[in-house]
Amino acid sequence: MKSNLSRKNLQNLKELGEPADFWDYFKKVSKIPRDSCKEDQIREFIKNEADKFGFQTIIDEIKNIAVMIPSTNKALTNHTKIIIQSHMDMVYVKDDTVEHDFSKDPLNLQLYEIDNEKWITAKGTTLGADDGVGIAYQLTLMKKIHEKELNYDFTDITLLFTVSEEWGGEGAIFINKDLLKGDYLINLDSEKENVFTIGSAAFMVYKAGIKMKRISLAEEKEILLPVKISVKGLVGGHSGGDIHEGRANPIKILTQLLWKLNREDKIYLNSFKGGSWETSISKNSEATVFIERGNYSEIKDQVMKICSNIQHHFKGIEKNIVISLEELKDFTDYTYFSKDCQNKLLNILYLMPYGPYCFHSQKRDLVHTSNNIGPIRSMRSRIEFGICYRSFSQYGIKMLHEKVNSLLELSGLRYKFYNYQGGPEWAPDFNSKISNIAKNTYREIFGEDINIEAIHAGLECADFKKHNPQLEIIAIGPTILGAHSTDERLKVSSVLKIWKFLVTFLNKLI
Ligand SMILES: [Zn+2]
């Protein structure tokens, strides 16, 4: 079938079908600014709705808000307690070509169709379906319970809305633990209608500083030529969610090149840099080195040969790797790292683990422990690099870090690690009560099986589980593609599917 990509502004919410209240709330929420750490207006909106329907609200110190919906069955004392949770903030990204002030402009919702499938997107900006859909589901549920269209006699429901999920996760980390008193928690921040999540990996980010000796170049100036070697065009990605894809790390590629040239004593390293965040796989890297003038074309041939081997190695994964070598004109920084430091540094970086380290013993296609390298920056007398470990156990993180530590120790260089960020694991139990009820409910409604998975990235649920280990948690949600980018889009039919699941699931969790 031919795709029809024409977009039109969303005029009539009726075009989106059921549940109508969901779409009404989704549209209202898309008009409210909700930057991370600036959730005042959306919290106010939620509070007003709860007040209007006569439900009590609690705002904790970090400014999460909870709406309490007690069971109407007063005769029964032993109610099941279910928490339904989303995050209030959204990621602000816009195309350079659009004028948009997130702090006051409503998102410009648009509707388009591909192969008879309707999608909602926002013109030139993120859509904030991550996690506006969660908020809209919760408010719809609250309204329908108030209007007695839905009735959960046996359960006390808490609607929990957290702050700053997209920026450090403080809402979940510093939540008032009383808000997590319950039997089950349903997180509404998942992005695939046919996958429910029941586990996520722990992570730990370190910065390492290595002391380096720098030497000034004097009389060799005439014979040495400064050149820049760049690695560009890599796919990059999320250091948790994409680590199983086998994508190249430009820091590792550049290291390999420099290591080979260094073996033949052909380079003097002046600088090395690449990447911007520990939690993302970088897309490019570059180094400045001095080479002997007479060796330029030989080295260039050598680099191109290594490049073609690398391209072949990553065939099908990395389609646009470009490695280039260019002479630097007007270069003035005639210094380089001592040969001893250079040898040791390149050895460490060449040997340093990167990517999946081992797979989960109960789910063989799930990465259990991994690490990412980057960013890296050289300075006058030191080199700094970041390393992000992820694992379904603290044991895994510790083991990998011990190995990296041993490597640095073996090098004999002076170094130091600084730990500055981390999050707990949410260890998956593939046979938990909540996942079994979810599987049965899904099959009963849709006649097909749901995939129950754990992911290698970190989730708020891991902090909830840490605060209340008794809580059984599952993450669900409609299909959203391209979250955190201006391509973000929400599959319309998927909203009803997850709604049907949610309202039935609540009845089964007793
Ligand atoms: Zn989210």
Distance, CA 100 to ligand 1 centroid (Å)? 22
Q: How far is the CA of 38 from the centre of ligand 1 (A)?
A: 16
Residues 172 and 309 in one domain: no
Backbone angles phi, psi at 165, to 5 degrees: -65, -35
What digits encode the pLDDT tens for the residues 348-361? 999 999 999 999 99
Say what the pLDDT of residue 2 is. Answer: 35
Say if residue 339's pLDDT is above 70.
yes
195 and 271 both lie in a single domain: no
Q: How far, in Å, is the centroid of ligand 1 from the Cα of 173?
A: 15
**Is the same domain home to 373 and 492?**
no
How far is residue 251 from each of residues 118, 119, 145, 265, measured CA to CA in Å? 41, 38, 54, 20
**Residue 411 belongs to domain with CATH number:** 3.30.70.360
Our CA angle for 92, 125, 275, nearest 5°, is 55
169 with 233, same domain? no
Query: 499 and 393 in one domain?
Result: no
In terms of domains, do 353 and 469 share one? no
Short-list 226, 213, 179, CA closest to 62: 179
Cα(88) to ligand 1 centroid in Å equals 9
Ligand 1 centroid, distance to 166 Cα (angstroms): 7
Domain CATH number, residue 447? 3.40.630.10
Ligand 1 centroid to 191 CA: how many Å?
9
Same domain for 497 and 357: no
CA 417 to centroid of ligand 1, rounded, Å:
31
Question: What pLDDT sits at residue 79?
Answer: 87
Q: Mean pLDDT across the stretch 248-275?
A: 95
Please say if the pLDDT value at position 292 is more than 90: yes
Q: Given the structure tokens 């109407």, which residue do they identify? A: 72
pLDDT at 84 over 90: yes
> Ligand 1 mean position to 407 CA, how many Å?
37
pLDDT score for 5: 60
Based on the fold, state whether residues 249 and 398 are members of the same structural domain: yes
Count up the domains in the chain and report the number.
Answer: 2
Q: Domain of residue 57: give its range.
A: 4-201+426-508
Instruction: Estimate the crossing angle of helix 20-29 against helix 40-53, to 10 degrees.
Output: 140
CA of 211 to the centre of ligand 1 (A): 39
CA of 131 to the centre of ligand 1 (A): 5
**Distance from the CA of 192 to the center of ligand 1, in angstroms?**
12
Measure Cα distances from 446 to 313, 477, 494 in Å: 43, 15, 12
* One domain for residues 55 and 84: yes
Helix, strand, or coil (residue 316): coil
Q: Is the dihedral of CA 420, 198, 61, 63 positive or negative?
A: positive
Token digits for 267?
């380079």
Final residue before a domain boundary, out of 389, 423, 457? 423
The pLDDT, as a whole number, for residue 8 is 80
- Closest to 339 measured CA to CA, from 222, 254, 217, 228: 217
Asked whether the predicted pLDDT for residue 1 surpasses 60, the reply is no
User: In 30-81, where does DSSP find H-type helix?
Assistant: 40-53
Residue 252 and residue 122 share a domain: no
For residue 502, how far is its CA from the centre of ligand 1 (angstroms)?
18
Q: Cα separations (Å) of 82 from 158, 197, 241, 336, 383?
A: 6, 17, 28, 61, 50
Kindly report, residue by residue over 43-82, the tens digit of the pLDDT.
Answer: 999 999 999 999 999 999 999 999 999 998 877 778 899 9
Ligand 1 geometric centre to CA of 190 (Å) = 7
156 Cα to the center of ligand 1, angstroms: 25
| Residue 219 binned pLDDT confidence (cut-offs 50, 70, 90) | low
Q: Rounded to the nearest whole angstrom, what is the distance from the C-alpha of residue 257 to the centroid of ligand 1?
A: 39
pLDDT digits (tens, 9 = 90+) for 440-473: 999 999 999 999 999 998 889 999 999 999 999 9
Last residue of a domain, one of 423, 456, 477: 423
pLDDT of 379-411, one tens digit each? 999 999 999 999 999 999 999 999 999 999 999
Q: How far does the centroid of ligand 1 lie from the alpha carbon of residue 339, in Å?
A: 47
Looking at the fold, whether 58 and 191 belong to one and the same domain comes out as: yes
Ligand 1 mean position, distance from CA 87 (Å): 7
Burial 179-218 (b: 16+ CB within 10 A, else e): bbebbbbbbbbbbbbebbbbbbbbbbbbbbebebebeeee
**How much distance in Å is there from the Cα of 302 to the middle of ligand 1?**
46
Q: How far is the CA of 406 from the centre of ligand 1 (A)?
A: 37
When pLDDT is cut at 50, 70 and 90, the band that residue 278 belongs to is: confident
Of 423, 443, 459, which marks where a domain is finished?
423
pLDDT (mean) for 475-482: 95
Which percentage of the chain shows pLDDT scores above 70?
99
Same domain for 11 and 106, yes or no, is yes
